[in-house]
Amino acid sequence: MYSEEQLYSIALRECNLIGDINFLKLVRTFGSAKEAWEHAKKEYQKVDGIGRKIVSDIGNIAYLEFAENELKFCENNKIQIRLRHLNELPKLLKECDDAPAILYQKGNFDDSLKTLSLVGTRNISPYGKQFIHDFFEETQSNQYISISGLALGVDKEVHEQSIEYNISTVAVLAHGFHMLYPAKNKKLSEKIIENNGALFTEFNSSRKPDRENFIQRNRIVAGISPATIVVETAFGGGSISTATFANNYNREVFALPGKITDKYSQGCNQLIFQHKARAISTLKDLTDSLDFNKPLEKIEELFPRSEESIQLTENQTVVYNSIIDHPQITLDDLAQKISLPSHKILPVILELELLGKVKSYSGRQFTAI
């Protein structure tokens, strides 16, 4: 069932100092994980950026024995092993420079379907719950896969609503398949697989849910989808790291704005203010931006909007017209054209974004909608 290349890949990746990037360098230079295992220690000079210290663990029989036991564990637990260097990762994830060398999978994943990541705080509010419910209700006629992290709060709600509306969902774990954290979500993880979804992890069966693993996990959540929605998060919450990864991968990020006094909206508001995420003003605008098919039923707006044309202030009009005349204009160029300092322009752009008039891109570039 399992290949020799999988065996040597697990052994090689288990070596100290052989992370995902060094692993890829080695297998690309030597042609396979087995060849790297057998020759890299003596011929490391062939690999750019690899020194004697990095390859010092390669060839250790203990790692090969570990890999043999890992293959037995995977076989007993019906776990698939996907290797990056054999182009077996989900298509968007393998584009990321720091994609995992090995991805373990339980369940089913249809790589032909659109993926969408939804993340947020463990301390979900009724506001966040309502948004998630409304979102899945409005998008249930679309074929896509939701991605989240199987934590309590927002993640749990995303997976449960996906199942409720018969949408496949994938949970990305921060530990190996020898356990399930948090234990409260064990039944939910089983339901995910029963409903044609999947569990993913880059961690083997020796890895526990250590704190640093969750940040590492978040890059997979961000990298596997073309867009990430941040539902609710505080300043410095884990979802901020997911949004940062998504920005770095040049993926779309959306954030649900809230009251500045609500702790778990402050992180979302900050992402929007710093132009690291687009503000979600209505469900219709969001689903249109995601290129979802419009349902036949009338889509109710999360924040009802008047059918009358919006009257812009003088500053809004000046900024908006300049962006219309110069699509993809940068903040510095905009400041120069309208003779206003950038710190005065940013709040106006945020207002226009909330009104659905302007879209921001990475690199502080803007275009009119």
Tokens of 146: 């939701």
Pairing of strands 358-361, 365-368: antiparallel
Greatest C-alpha distance within the chain: 73
* CA 260 to chain CA mean position, Å: 25
d(CA 256, CA 154): 12
Judge contact between 148 and 229, C-beta under 8 A.
Answer: no
d(CA 294, CA 223): 26
* Rg (the chain; Cα; Å): 23
d(CA 280, CA 288): 11
d(CA 146, CA 132): 12
Per-residue pLDDT of the chain (369 residues; tens, 9 = 90+): 789 999 999 999 999 999 999 999 999 999 999 999 999 999 999 999 999 999 999 999 999 999 999 999 999 999 999 999 999 999 999 999 999 999 999 999 999 999 999 999 999 999 999 999 999 999 999 999 999 999 999 999 999 999 999 999 999 999 999 999 999 999 999 999 999 999 999 999 999 999 899 999 999 999 999 999 999 999 999 999 999 999 999 999 999 999 999 999 999 999 999 999 999 999 999 999 998 865 444 444 554 544 445 688 888 899 899 988 888 888 888 888 888 888 788 888 888 887 878 887 766 788 887
pTM, entire model: 0.80
